[in-house]
Every structure is written in structure tokens, then in C-alpha cells.
């Protein structure tokens, strides 16, 4: 996630001047929501694969895909590719207001298009995963699911904000965000599927028809992202205040 796309680039409504940004978000989210859930489907089709091996493969696929997308598309849009992270970046006041709605629209559209593609590719053979949909594990209530999804998204969004504001090298940004997503999936995947991204959950769920507890994967990530954005602003403003006092 590069810092440049979050700076104001015009004073007009962004759709006229930000086609590259919106296209990058559409393509990036499409690839993430296609490749990530596809790894869920494929791992379920390998009889000899153990649960921990499957979890590691899925986490590595998601984390690696995000990292590569940051390197490939970060220069155009910041490679946010997650409506929840868009909320976090906006609440941290690092995203131009005119870009919020277009980013959300194209990210969700990318997720839905990926869901259609997953249905075309895997519907005839996928009998277990509902096209890689996020599902609550047995014993996890929706309220607990919202807390877990919110917690995971908080750390993911905070890592993205730190990468955007404090790290200049794209490779390190990609490594930080990708490793955070990998870690969150390892930790929370067995409990909720670790969606942490409304577009990631919406695409496969709507395409497969599995919409049980879908609101968990919308409410949880958005709440976690909002808290991350506010937390980042408090940390940043506190640091600026300390620096100001030291300079006086």
C-alpha cells in the first residue's frame, strides 16, 4: 500500500480523474476473491491433505496474493482491495473523501465478479465449501464471530495504515500486510474462516447461495476497521503533539 494514492489529486468528483485507481481496485479485489477462495475449494478436494496443511496453504495463498497485489497495483490505487480497509483508511483521514464511494463500489463489484467466476469454475465439483464461503465453526455464535472478525480486521487494517504512513519501500509494505493477513488466517481461520474483508465474503456467499450469518462478515470487519482508523489517528496525533513539544 503506497502513500501516494491517498493524497488529494484533484478537487473534482474522482470518477472523472481516477479511472486507474478504480480499475486497480476492481482488478485487485477480483483477483484476491478469486484466488483466495479457490484455494479453499481446491484444498477441500485433496483427500490426503490434513487440516493444518490446508489452513497453511489457504493462509499462504491469501497473504501471498495480497502482497503481490500491493507490489503490482499499489502505485495506482494503494491496493486497498478491501472495503473494510477502505473504511479504516478513510476514518484515519488518509483517503480523499471523493474516493471513498468509488473504492467501495469497485471493490464490492470485484468481489461479486469473482464469485460468479468461482461458480463457473467450481460449482460442479465443490460439495463442501460453498465456493470457499466464510463460515462460523461449530460453537461460535454470531456475536462471538463479529468480535473475532472485528479483531482480525483491526490488526489487518492497522498494519495497512502503518505500512502506508511509515514505510516507503513497497516490498516491505507488501511483506507487512501479507504476513499480517497470513497470521490472522492461521489464528482465526478455524473459528470464522477469517474473512476480514466484506468483498471476500460477499462474492462466494452470494454466488453459492450460502448466506447464513453473512452479516457477521460485514459488521465485524467494518467495526474493526473503524476502531483501527480511530486508533491510528490517536497514535499519529499523539506523536505529532510530542514532536511539537520537543521542538519548542
Q: Give the residue with greater pLDDT, 10 vs 138.
A: 138
Provide the pLDDT for residue 227.
98
> Could you give the percent of the chain with pLDDT greater than 70?
90
Provide the pLDDT for residue 219.
98
Provide the pLDDT for residue 85.
98
- pLDDT tens for 65-110 read 999 999 999 999 999 999 999 999 999 999 999 999 999 999 999 9
Alpha carbon separation from 129 to 40, 68, 69, 133, 241 (Å, rounded): 7, 25, 25, 6, 50
Provide the pLDDT for residue 237.
83
According to CATH, the topology of domain 4-247 is Glycerol uptake facilitator protein (1.20.1080)
In this predicted structure, the answer to whether residue 248 has a pLDDT above a threshold of 60 is: no
Please give the Cα distance from 125 to 179 (Å, whole number): 31
Please give the Cα distance from 76 to 99 (Å, whole number): 13
- pLDDT tens for 214-236 read 999 999 999 999 999 999 999 98
Provide the pLDDT for residue 187.
98
Provide the pLDDT for residue 14.
47
Q: What is the mean pLDDT of the chain?
A: 91
Count CA atoms closer than 13 A to 53's CA, side-chain side: 9
Residues in the chain: 248
In this predicted structure, the answer to whether residue 55 has a pLDDT above a threshold of 90 is: yes
> Could you give the percent of the chain with pLDDT greater than 90?
83
Mean pLDDT of 159-173: 94
Provide the pLDDT for residue 139.
97
Mean pLDDT of 6-30: 73
Other C-beta atoms closer than 10 Å to the C-beta of 35 total: 18
- pLDDT tens for 182-222 read 999 999 999 999 999 999 999 999 999 999 999 999 999 99
Alpha carbon separation from 132 to 12, 74, 247 (Å, rounded): 39, 26, 53
In this predicted structure, the answer to whether residue 5 has a pLDDT above a threshold of 70 is: no
* Contact assessment for residue 229 and residue 88, using Cβ atoms and an 8 Å cutoff: yes
Q: What pTM was computed for the model?
A: 0.91
Mean pLDDT of 54-65: 98
Amino acid at each position: 500500500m503506497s502513500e501516494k494514492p491517498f493524497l488529494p489529486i484533484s478537487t473534482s468528483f474522482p470518477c472523472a480523474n481516477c479511472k486507474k485507481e478504480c480499475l486497480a481496485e476492481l482488478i485487485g479485489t477480483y483477483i484476491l476473491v478469486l484466488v483466495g477462495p479457490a484455494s479453499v475449494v481446491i484444498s477441500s478436494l485433496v483427500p490426503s491433505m490434513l487440516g493444518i496443511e490446508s489452513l497453511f496453504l489457504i493462509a499462504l495463498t491469501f497473504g501471498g496474493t495480497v502482497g503481490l497485489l500491493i507490489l503490482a497495483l499499489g502505485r495506482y490505487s494503494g491496493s486497498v482491495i478491501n472495503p473494510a480497509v477502505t473504511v479504516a483508511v478513510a476514518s484515519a483521514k488518509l483517503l480523499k473523501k471523493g474516493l471513498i464511494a468509488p473504492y467501495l463500489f469497485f471493490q464490492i463489484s470485484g468481489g461479486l465478479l469473482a464469485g460468479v467466476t468461482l461458480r463457473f469454475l467450481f460449482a460442479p465439483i465443490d460439495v463442501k465449501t460453498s465456493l470457499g464461503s466464510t463460515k462460523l465453526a461449530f460453537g461460535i455464535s454470531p456475536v462471538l464471530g463479529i468480535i473475532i472478525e472485528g479483531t482480525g480486521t483491526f490488526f489487518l487494517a492497522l498494519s495497512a495504515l502503518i505500512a502506508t504512513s511509515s514505510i516507503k519501500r513497497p516490498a516491505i509494505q507488501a511483506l507487512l500486510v501479507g504476513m499480517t493477513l497470513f497470521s490472522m488466517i492461521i489464528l482465526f481461520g478455524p473459528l470464522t474462516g477469517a474473512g476480514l474483508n466484506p468483498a471476500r465474503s460477499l462474492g462466494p456467499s452470494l454466488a453459492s447461495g450460502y448466506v447464513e450469518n453473512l452479516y457477521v462478515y460485514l459488521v465485524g470487519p467494518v467495526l474493526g476497521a473503524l476502531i483501527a482508523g480511530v486508533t491510528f489517528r490517536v497514535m499519529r496525533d499523539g506523536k505529532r503533539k510530542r514532536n511539537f513539544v520537543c521542538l519548542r
